[in-house]
A and B are shown apart, each in its own frame.
Chain A
Amino acid sequence: MARMEITPELVKHLSRLSRLALTPQEEAKLEGELRSIVGFFEKLSELNTEGLPEMARPVETTNRLRADQVRPSLTQEQALSVAIEVHEGQFKVPRVIE
């Protein structure tokens, strides 16, 4: 496992990638916290995992498929009941800039 450096640039990059705004104070604090957490993760490099599969799921099941049948949808009113803002039956959201 590579010795990973948590730098201010990396924190900024992660902040952008996760769409999480951070104040400069938060960035500084997080840098230290992430550094200690990654240091803690480094422990894993001691464990020999050669030849082992990547176990993404704890219990092995396969082919959990659903028959192609239509089930009732929510009404428009029900769907929009959670909306922050609504406009003519649609979710109104801040402008998307390409």
Chain B
Amino acid sequence: MLAHEIVKNIQSGQVSPQEVVSASLQRIAQLEPRLHALIRLNPQAEQEAALVEQRLARGEHLPLAGVPVVLKDNICTQDLATTCGSRMLADFVPPYSATVVEKLRQAGAVVVAKANMDEFAMGSSTEYSAFGPTRNPWDTERVPGGTSGGSAAAVAAGMVPLALGTDTGGSVRQPAALCGVYGFKPTYGRISRYGVVATASSLDQVGTMARTVQDLALLSDVVSGYDPMDSTSLEIQAQFAAALQASSRGLTIGLVKEALAVGNSPGVLEALERFRSVMEAQGVRFVEVSLPSLEYALAAYYIVNTAEISSNLARYDGTLYGLRVPGEDSTTTMMQSREHGFGPEVQRRILMGTFVLSSGYYEAYYGKALRARARIKADFDRAFSQADLLLTPTSPFPAFRLGEKTTDPLSMYLADIDTVAVNLAGLPAMSIPAGFEGHLPVGVQLIGKALHDEQIFVAANAFEQATERAFARAAI
């Protein structure tokens, strides 16, 4: 069932929150052995469903009443282990919940599980999870994408209708594309980061995932909004559901020249073509735009990303909390704990990040990357003077096979080519299921002007309506 259907049916009394949650848990039990989308079930899920029922009985208005959701395991849930897909935090139980979790609970949603992810949100396939990879529901020999692979797979497989992930360089959008679901990253600051374990602070955002635009809007409205606990949080009122009333007629969409020049696989090109023709028929105008510095975005991104990672992950040292591998003194303990607690990709990025920030190299790498960032932002600003939205592929190719890219770290980085510039510029973007390459889903990416996230929903909704949700079906 879709989320908005669940809410309607619960409100009308046709079904109870416990029944819905129970059905979700059953489906999870059935599919998990094959998919491994999840790290841990919430043992309190059924009790929480019962509580929702009581609140409804008291007359409370709950926009997500009884809807089962899955949270990427880097989102802190009080009293429920939050591992970030890492041995370092394998047994870490936070004494507090993220703001987005409070908002979900407030709205009546029920967190049924924590989803699998690449360790500390570094990767593009969920193969870097310390607890084993997640498999793509459309083809279990292939990856679901990453780093929010578990969340995407859970939604695609119909375990839950809604999920939260995090997106640092495409980590919600790319798995959404590879799993055939919607994945949305808001303008930086529109969804609170408090309680979301930091990977790269100036790039991270919580992202929402669902199988339809309406469900996506429902979820996005609930979790968005100003949070005084997050200094980067913006005071913007979310109006995603309201946006679905608007027509896309008269919008201009810019096709990004440089994104098309990259080697995109045939299914991707076909999906872009379909999107264009469907939308043109809706009265949307298409122009070609250029982001000349796009080819430098990957390098700039990985410099900023690794620099901030090296700082954000410094706290994991076996001193106060987390994994400790005891040594003879505090320094040895720190070094051993981190060696054992972190996987190879995390270690690579920490070392790289330390390097780009270190004395003598800051200007050449980090300073340079921050200026390149300004350049990339300026390119986007210029493109947005010609178009309301920008169109690119989400990923140059559909889901690749497990093990295909893990031998060469760089090749994994190159998979992010369409998505990273968006995080650098802090813009909103959404991956929209728009086709198939054989049996594998393909997504296209719409990028919006800063703070104009709702306009993306208008366009996505128009495409979905016009194609009668042809690409939003469950995988299994």
Contact = CB atoms under 8 A, between A and B. Distances in A.
A9 to B, nearest CB: 13
Nearest to B347: A20
Nearest to A1: B364
Interface in B321-341: 321-322, 324, 326-336, 338-339
A44 B374 contact: no
Contacts of B203: 58
B13 to A, nearest CB: 39
A88 to B, nearest CB: 16
A34 B410 contact: no
B187 interface: yes
Interface in A16-39: 17-22, 26, 30, 33-34, 36-38
Interface in B300-334: 300, 302-303, 310, 314, 317-322, 324, 326-334
Contacts of B92: 82
Given A1-B365, A18-B310, 7 more contacts: A22-B347, A38-B352, A52-B378, A54-B371, A81-B93, A93-B333, A96-B330
B228 A66 contact: yes
At the interface, is chain B mostly helix, strand, loop or mixed? helix
B355 A14 contact: yes
B348 A54 contact: no
A47 B372 contact: yes
Interface string B191-229: 000000000001100000000000000000000000010
B156 interface: no
23 contacts: A14-B358, A18-B338, A18-B351, A19-B334, A30-B351, A33-B348, A33-B409, A36-B410, A38-B355, A41-B303, A44-B368, A47-B293, A52-B371, A53-B370, A53-B374, A55-B374, A56-B202, A57-B426, A66-B228, A82-B95, A82-B321, A91-B320, A93-B320
B354 interface: yes
A89 interface: no
A27 to B, nearest CB: 10
A79 B189 contact: no
B354 to A, nearest CB: 5
A26 B342 CA distance: 13
Contact of A14 (B300, B330, B351, B371): B351
A34 B352 contact: yes
A81 B328 CA distance: 25
